[in-house]
Amino acid sequence: DAKTTQPNSMESNEEEPVHLPCNHSTISGTDYIHWYRQLPSQGPEYVIHGLTSNVNNRMASLAIAEDRKSSTLILHRATLRDAAVYYCILRDDNAGNNRKLIWGLGTSLAVNP
Amino acid sequence: DTGVSQNPRHKITKRGQNVTFRCDPISEHNRLYWYRQTLGQGPEFLTYFQNEAQLEKSRLLSDRFSAERPKGSFSTLEIQRTEQGDSAMYLCASSLQTSVETQYFGPGTRLLVL
């Protein structure tokens, strides 16, 4: 599975936008880019996913570079509740049945009031 | 609430004892995953079920670990002869078989082996 590289930690202020980067230079053509986050003492939760085009949902936006070697998760207005570890994960959703997620260390986001 | 539930939420046991965890997935989800997470690390895949069939097991899953999903609904993960290195958060996730699946996670069971 292709690997991702994320900063260990980032800091933001409440109500400001946050841009969480992810590098995935070895991404293959069939790899989808998935983002999950894990709030303290909770299980992970899905945030967003994309393949080539930028994506928006109620939680966040995903901006994917044209060459797909990097992507950025955008939280438009950070709240204290967004303080979590954010994981960027590549998964080939065309390969076989097992859709296991291969996790890195993620980015720990702190949000200052 | 119809999310994924896990029981117990916390378990403290002595080395050498057996423990069993339960996961109740979202009712219509046919796929179920177990992961293990140690402090400061991302989750690691352990095993995966499609309906009642266990289709893949990680090399992390030693012979002391066994998982079942007898009727394709809830699942259990048993650890026999626990060791201190088994201390971790055990996470269960379920998903519906689609082209790009989203996994829904439970709150996890935190195991401490003394």
**Residue A71 DSSP SS3:** strand
Q: Let me know: does A3 contact A89? Beta carbons within 8 Å.
A: no
CB atoms within 10 A of CB A111: 20
CA gap B56, A1 in Å, rounded: 16
Pick B56's closest partner by Cβ from A43, A87, A98. Answer: A98
CA gap B56, B50 in Å, rounded: 10
pLDDT of amino acid B72:
86
Pick B48's closest partner by Cβ from A32, A98, A105. Answer: A98
pLDDT of amino acid B1:
54
Within 8 A of A36 by CB-CB distance, chain B residues are: 103
**A53-96, pLDDT tens digit by residue?**
999 999 999 999 999 999 999 999 999 999 999 999 998 877 67
> Is A44 close to B43, i.e. CB distance below 8 A?
yes
Task: Spell out the SS3 assignment of chain B.
Answer: CCCCEEECCEEEECCCCCEEEEEECCCCCCEEEEEEECCCCCCEEEEEEECCEEEEECCCCCCCEEEECCCCCCEEEEECCCCHHHCEEEEEEEECCCCCCCCEECCCEEEEEC
- To test the contact with chain B by mutation, choose from A59, A93, A98, A102 the residue with the greatest count of B C-beta atoms within 10 A, namely A98
How does DSSP classify residue A31? E
A82 vs chain B: nearest CA distance in angstroms? 17
> Is B42 close to A43, i.e. CB distance below 8 A?
no
Asked if residue B15 has pLDDT above 90, the reply is: yes
Residue B72's region, left for phi above 0, alpha for psi from -120 to 50, else beta, is: left
> Is A105 close to B41, i.e. CB distance below 8 A?
yes
Residue of B nearest to A30 (CA): B100
Average pLDDT, chain B: 94
Mark which residues 28-67 of B lie under 8 Å from A by CB.
31, 33, 35, 40-45, 48, 50, 55-56
Instruction: Determine phi and psi for B62, rounding to 5 degrees.
Output: -70, 175
Average pLDDT of B6-33?
96
pLDDT of amino acid B7:
97
Residue with tokens 């841009």: A19
pLDDT of amino acid A50:
95
Q: How many CB pairs under 8 A join A and B?
A: 56
